[in-house]
Amino acid sequence: MKRMILASSNQNKLREFKEILAPLGWEVVSQHDLGIDVDPDETGTTFEENSAIKARAVYNIAHLPTVADDSGLEVDALGGEPGVYSARYGGTRDDKVHNRIVLKKLEGVPDDKRTARFIAAITYIDESGREYSFTGKFEGRIGYSERGKNGFGYDPIFMVGDISSAEMTPEEKNSQSHRGKALRALSEYLKSI
């Protein structure tokens, strides 16, 4: 089995990467599993730029196949906020606070104006240092309260039809989500090499 490092310590992301890449013969380990303690500043203005920054930081230490993602929520009625600041929206890394901020900002906004999407950009760096980028989008709208216990981040307020992303099973979410789409694009590339 080939090994790939995930440039993240987020256990939820690690689980999603493992679920999709393990069937292809890849063992995905987190940077912390290998004792790599690096947390680069995400100074990019796009998800793609931030993903590449994270992947390069880990690759430059390990020189092994490395994958990183940067993802977030764009809400149309908020001019694309929180965007690349999704993980630190409102100056905090607390998901509950992030969700409350979005819901508060959307008070009085009608359903048809609450459109939103999750975006994921994945950077894969192969063993020789070549970089590849893959993106995925997950369209929906922002609900009016938190719903569901599955998922993480903005999942409890992100509605797809009549259910929140946090009410989906992991299989349902992986089949539709932004990260699932970007991971499938990565997996198609990995199958081709």
70-74, 105-109, 131-135, 150-154: range with lowest mean pLDDT: 150-154
Q: What is the pLDDT of residues 158-173, one digit of tens each?
A: 999 999 999 999 889 8
> Which residues lie closer than 8 Å to 175 by C-beta, 6 or more apart?
none
What is this structure's pTM? Answer: 0.89
The two structure tokens encoding residue 92: 């905090």
Integer Cα distance of 74 and 57 in angstroms = 26
2-192 is a CATH 1.10.600.10 domain: no
Q: Which residues are catalytic?
A: 70
Q: What is the pLDDT of residues 47-102, one digit of tens each?
A: 999 999 999 999 999 999 999 999 999 999 999 999 999 999 999 989 999 999 99
- Spans of all domains in the chain: 2-192
According to DSSP, residue 82 is labeled: B
Instruction: Measure the CA dihedral 67/10/159/169, to 10°.
Output: 90
Residue 157 · residue 99 · CB < 8 Å:
yes
Pairing of strands 115-125, 26-30: unpaired
